Amino acid sequence: MGNGLGCFQVASHMISGRSSRNQTDVPEVIERATVTADALQISRLECGGYRFKYTQGSAIPCVITDPQYNVLKVCSRGSGSQVERLLQFLVRTAYECQFARQGVVSLHAACVELGDGAVCFTGDSGVGKSTRAQAWVDGVGAQLISGDRPAIRLEAACNIACGVPWDGKEQILRDVERPLKAVLEVRRAPFTRLRRLTPEQAYAVLIRQSFIPMWDPDTAALAMVNVKRLCRITPVYRLFCGPDAEAARETRRILFDCPEEIQEELPDMKIREGFVLRNVADEHMVMPTGENVGKFGGAVVLSDVAAFAFEQLRRPVSREDLLSLILAEYDVDAETATADLDALLAQFRELGLLKD
């Protein structure tokens, strides 16, 4: 089965080294502008195309594209697994630019297929996307489509999750496609809950986890529009759950069998940028950073439970879900925890720490 991306075969050839490659003939590059993103250096060429190379090292290996990323020229010297590895990242990045222009979102997520549909687990690195996906493999018989960054092809009625010939540590390189049933933003919790996100909340989650080529404003704008379209068609939920198979079974049950149990949308709160939590001499201390240092003129000492709440609030969360997290973590009755949390949130607001 093809994945309908229209480029899978070409990309596979390039990555596996079977394409005709320009071994030594590196085109003369007249750069108009250069930006650097992590290890990658992207240069705009006189012809309007782009050159992708590593920041460190020489001009080879590199990938050179036309302005629309339709034609990729791979320049390398030698062969072997190390060269292939170096090329893979460059080729992947160039292709992801092409995706943006073709209505495809490259999403930082672990993606599984189950039955005739697919589910994506997204979130910041280290939150447990892969663990949740593996729990679905172990607990409900799902199969991984991609461990790190599936391509989501946007369609009018239903977006399609597609496997790609590159991946993270899982190295799942499957040429399959399945209708995308839901995107789940993973949050660690000792209980299982799905909460619907508003379009604005969903967009804020997905834009952080999507490939946006900021060095190319036109393509970046298209990529952002694609993310908006993705949110409009596919439901995005915040998933609170544990890492085990039982949590996977419960999540699947709510999602597919009992959608009426999915919680309604609620407003989020979040700690403002420019504050960090440090453990100083066994005390939890919130320290201002950057420009906040002079403005704030001090630090904030937190008790244990307050520090737990602060940590949860580093990402958007509703008051109700925060309360549930506290009740699950600490030995306290709901009435006491509710009153104490409201008082703490009022303190955070008064101190200017909280953004509603």
Identify which of residues 207 and 337 has a Cβ nearer to other proteins in the complex: 337
Q: How many CB atoms lie within 10 A of CB 123?
A: 23
Cβ within 8 Å of residue 158, ≥6 positions away: 179, 180, 233, 234
Among 300, 314, 316, 323, binds other proteins (CB under 8 A): 300
Q: Choose which of 12, 207, 351, 355 interacts with other proteins (CB under 8 A).
A: 351
Cα(277)–Cα(299) distance, integer angstroms:
10
10 makes contact with other proteins (CB under 8 A): no
In this chain, which of 12, 88, 305, 318 binds other proteins, going by CB under 8 A?
305
Nearer to other proteins, 39 or 332 (CB): 332
Query: 3-class DSSP state for residue 217?
Result: helix
Name the segment binding other proteins (CB under 8 A); options: 56-64, 147-155, 234-242, 340-348. Answer: 340-348
Contact between 60 and other proteins by CB under 8 A: the answer reads no
CB of residue 296 to other proteins, shortest distance in Å: 9
Number of residues that bind other proteins (CB under 8 A): 36
- Residue 74 DSSP SS3: strand
For position 320 contacting other proteins by CB under 8 A, the verdict is no
* Residue 348 touches other proteins, criterion: CB under 8 A: yes
Please report whether residue 309 would count as binding other proteins according to CB under 8 A: yes
**Distance of alpha carbon 130 from alpha carbon 210, whole angstroms:** 17
155 binds other proteins (CB under 8 A): no
Instruction: Indicate whether 299 belongs to the interface with other proteins (CB under 8 A).
Output: yes
Closer by beta carbon to other proteins, 171 or else 279: 279
Judged by DSSP in three states, 305 sits in helix
223 binds other proteins (CB under 8 A): no
Q: H-helix or E-strand containing 40?
A: strand 40-45
**Which DSSP helix (H) or strand (E) runs through 325?**
helix 319-329
Torsion angle of the four alpha carbons 158, 159, 163, 169, in this order, in degrees rounded to the nearest 10: -130
- Answer for which of 46, 57, 330, 334 binds other proteins (CB under 8 A) is 330
- 77 closest CA partner among 27, 25, 23, 28: 23
| 154: Cα within 13 Å, side-chain hemisphere | 21
**277 part of the interface to other proteins, by CB under 8 A:** no
What residues line the site for other proteins (CB under 8 A)? 280, 285-287, 290-291, 293-295, 297-306, 308-309, 328-332, 336-337, 340-341, 343-344, 347-348, 351, 353
